[in-house]
Amino acid sequence: MSSAPASRDLANAIRALSMDAVQQANSGHPGAPMGMADIAEVLWRGFLKHNPGNPKWPDRDRFVLSNGHGSMLLYSLLHLTGYGVSLEDIKNFRQLGSPTAGHPEYGDAPGIETTTGPLGQGIANAVGMALAEKVLAAQFNREGHQIVDHHTYCFLGDGCMMEGISHEVASLAGTLGLGKLIAFYDDNGISIDGEVEGWFTDDTVERFRAYGWQVIPNVDGHDPEEIRMAVETARKNSEQPTLICCKTIIGFGSPNKQGKEESHGAALGEDEIALTREALGWQHGPFEIPEDIRQAWDACDTGAGQEAEWQARFDAYRAEFPELAVEYQRRMDGKLPTGFDQAAQAFIKACQEKGEKVASRKASQNALDAYGPLLPELLGGSADLAGSNNTLWKGCKAVNAADASGNYVHYGVREFGMTAIMNGVCLHGGLRPYGGTFLVFMEYARNAVRMAALMHQPNILVYTHDSIGLGEDGPTHQPIEQLANLRMTPNMSTWRPCDTVETAVAWKHALQRQDGPTALICSRQGLPCMPRDENVLVQVEKGGYTLLQTGEGTPDALIIATGSEVELAVKAAESLGAAGRNVRVVSMPSVDAFLSQSADYQESVLPAAVRARVAVEAAISDYWYRFVGLDGKVVGMTGFGASAPAGDLYKHFGITAEAVTEAVESLL
């Protein structure tokens, strides 16, 4: 009877697949997969709770490869353990249409928990997943019934450690006591430019201890027993996240390139691969995995058993707590509660009837007060600006290390970290995160915002102080180009409402959206509620609609406006109407929602025959020429703002009703 394959032989299967795939593609990063293969073998075969037959079962452990350039490590693991990643997929690494992209892409292949590549964001996503696990466990687990009970594991390297976001999220993870987060630091001393000691000399161990993490230093990343003992120690600590510092050799096994930057981001070469096979004792051809190795890696039966055991526990939970079980399943399925749409429509109608003049940031809070009690899955937060962003609503309860059953996270001044953590919360499932900051500080979070759109995650991004209208804080705080940036991001839905009604509609849209993020852009200054009859009210959700017209039939001119500038457009139209002009005001709170409407609807709002067009928005002007044409005019910003009261700034920069009136008259 043959003995079971040794740990090193099993790890060598990862090394072989990784170097073969990178060589065939003549593109990729073999070094990290070869260096971390021993760690991956111990974790995936000895600890990771997962089921290749059902990659989405709720209580699986999450695994995040934050150093996503080492993607062949993950693809090898998915292939060997039985996920739907075939040998052909491995052979087609980095090729068009293949699920084995250059970096792991969420949704491309089963078992990929998040898109990684922008360094540092994977560990941030992992923090979000661990946060979601802790919150859901506190909300749903009952004595004797642990239905939410899993770990989040993350691999990360020197690049992730150097990125500032790792500081933001690690600090918060320690503060929140995310004890089921276990990170493995691939301490190989090499990055693309060479030996990192020339530019990275941090005391990583003491840094993470200062964050409140348990740190296990100096683990030999090529000794399975040391790795195993470290993981066992990490799992025993439920009060602190754990960092396991693993000393590894990048490109392990390559006689001439291991431990060097040459193995980091390029194929080893046929000759070196032959030498590596010999050095590793791997006497098999390219992409060839012996049957005994395959059988030892296969996790299908074990995973099915783990899920069945959880299902039995969940059935017992459902028998004792049927309402909680139904709610848990609804939330994990990402479904809104029955009756939400009707309740939202009633609130929108009530906003119109009340006709209140408030800042749209306050209108946003009012919407949360209305929708929040219906949605226990909401997990709010703000980057230290709750009182300014108005993200706290009446039912908020803070999440902390001792009690995670709440629904609000105080993220501190961590815009980037907050947004990437929210991505992780979304990816985990069961919670709907929203987070706030000033619109101009979206720039700190920009790449995480992009990742939410790329991964089709329904984050809700609350951005307030949306224009020069914030006043005295000056140009450092006054957003100019950010609105255009968000609107031009694929799969991002952006709403800049003009009053309480449009804000309520925007929140309804954001909560109902499941396939991407929504940015809600809110004002600091008070905005009047615009008059609308019922026919106009139902058009708001289309993103652009005729708010008023001063005459009948085809108008002489169109004025397109958003947010606080809708009031200016209405005043200008009234002045023009008094002078006999037939002018239409189009409120366009969401360009993307408007452009998703039928061509007939768009034509009915913006008739092509009307060439006299003016757009007004206290943001960068260039964006609006797509709607007014080169012959039209835009009343907006062409440079940065200034420090002064809001009213003075609007006059100084020529964003006034009079300026809109003059622009229209000049075109007629």
Runs of H (alpha helix) within 176-216:
204-211
Q: What is the mean pLDDT of the chain?
A: 98
Residues 103 and 205 in one domain: yes
Residues 25 and 157 in one domain: yes
Cross-strand partners of 614: 559, 633
Query: Is 314 within the bounds of a domain?
Result: no
Ligand-binding annotation for 521, yes or no, is no
Percent of residues, the chain, with pLDDT higher than 90: 100
Mean pLDDT value across residues 644-668:
97
Ligand-binding annotation for 255, yes or no, is no
- Identify whether the C-beta of residue 524 lies closer than 8 Å to the C-beta of residue 465: yes
Ligand-binding annotation for 209, yes or no, is no
CA distance 8 to 451: 36
With CA atoms as reference, report the closest residue to 543 among 486, 498, 597. 597
Q: Domain end: 256, 279, 304, which one?
A: 304
Dihedral of the CA atoms 535, 540, 545, 548 (nearest 10)?
Answer: 60
Query: What pLDDT, on the 0 to 100 scale, is given for residue 374?
Result: 98
Ligand-binding annotation for 322, yes or no, is no
The CA distances from residue 539 to 123, 209, 544, in Å, are 42, 55, 8
Ligand-binding annotation for 627, yes or no, is no
Ligand-binding annotation for 177, yes or no, is no
Residues 518 and 550 in one domain: no
Mean pLDDT value across residues 160-171:
98
Residues 293 and 179 in one domain: yes
Phi, psi of 59 (to 5 degrees): -95, 20
Question: Which residues, including other chains, have CB under 8 Å from residue 361's CB and lie 6 or more apart?
Answer: 388, 389, 390, 464, 465, 522, 523, 524
651: its two tokens: 């006059």
Name the residue range of residue 662's domain. Answer: 542-666
pLDDT at position 2 over 80: no
Ligand-binding annotation for 167, yes or no, is no
Handedness of CA 264, 267, 269, 273 (dihedral sign): positive
Query: What confidence tier does 418 reach under pLDDT thresholds 50, 70, 90?
Result: very high
pLDDT in tens, 457-498: 999 999 999 999 999 999 999 999 999 999 999 999 999 999
Q: Which residue among 41, 113, 261, 415 is the active-site one?
A: 415
Ligand-binding annotation for 473, yes or no, is yes
Ligand-binding annotation for 159, yes or no, is yes
Ligand-binding annotation for 69, yes or no, is yes
Mean pLDDT value across residues 633-657:
98
Residues 547 and 512 in one domain: no
Query: Is 322 within the bounds of a domain?
Result: no
Residue 523 C-beta-side C-alpha neighbours within 13 Å: 29
Query: Is 53 within the bounds of a domain?
Result: yes
b/e per residue 220-246 (b: at least 16 CB within 10 A): ebbbbebbeebbeebeeeeebbbbbbb
Maximum Cα–Cα distance across the chain: 99
Query: What pLDDT, on the 0 to 100 scale, is given for residue 3?
Result: 83
CA distance 146 to 137: 8
Residues 350 and 270 in one domain: no
Query: Is 90 within the bounds of a domain?
Result: yes
Query: What confidence tier does 56 reach under pLDDT thresholds 50, 70, 90?
Result: very high
Residues 520 and 624 in one domain: no
- Identify whether the C-beta of residue 556 lies closer than 8 Å to the C-beta of residue 585: no
Ligand-binding annotation for 648, yes or no, is no
Residues 518 and 555 in one domain: no
Rg, Å, the chain Cα set: 28
Residues 521 and 557 in one domain: no
Q: Are strands 460-464 and 432-438 parallel, antiparallel or unpaired?
A: parallel
Residue 431 C-beta-side C-alpha neighbours within 13 Å: 33
CA distance 663 to 652: 17
Ligand-binding annotation for 99, yes or no, is no
Q: Which amino acid is present at 447?
A: N
Residues 524 and 643 in one domain: no
Ligand-binding annotation for 298, yes or no, is no
339: its two tokens: 């009756």
Query: Is 319 within the bounds of a domain?
Result: no
Q: Domain end: 528, 550, 575, which one?
A: 528
Residues 148 and 235 in one domain: yes
Runs of H (alpha helix) within 244-299:
270-280, 291-297
Mean pLDDT value across residues 285-297:
98
Cross-strand partners of 378: 432
CATH number, domain containing residue 517: 3.40.50.970
pLDDT at position 613 over 70: yes
Query: Is 327 within the bounds of a domain?
Result: no
Is 168 noted as a catalytic residue in this protein? Answer: no
pLDDT at position 1 over 90: no
Q: Domain end: 502, 528, 554, which one?
A: 528
Give me the number of domains the chain comprises: 3
Query: What pLDDT, on the 0 to 100 scale, is given for residue 236?
Result: 98
pLDDT in tens, 184-228: 999 999 999 999 999 999 999 999 999 999 999 999 999 999 999
Residues 153 and 85 in one domain: yes
Query: Is 267 within the bounds of a domain?
Result: yes
CATH number, domain containing residue 605: 3.40.50.920
Query: Is 312 within the bounds of a domain?
Result: no
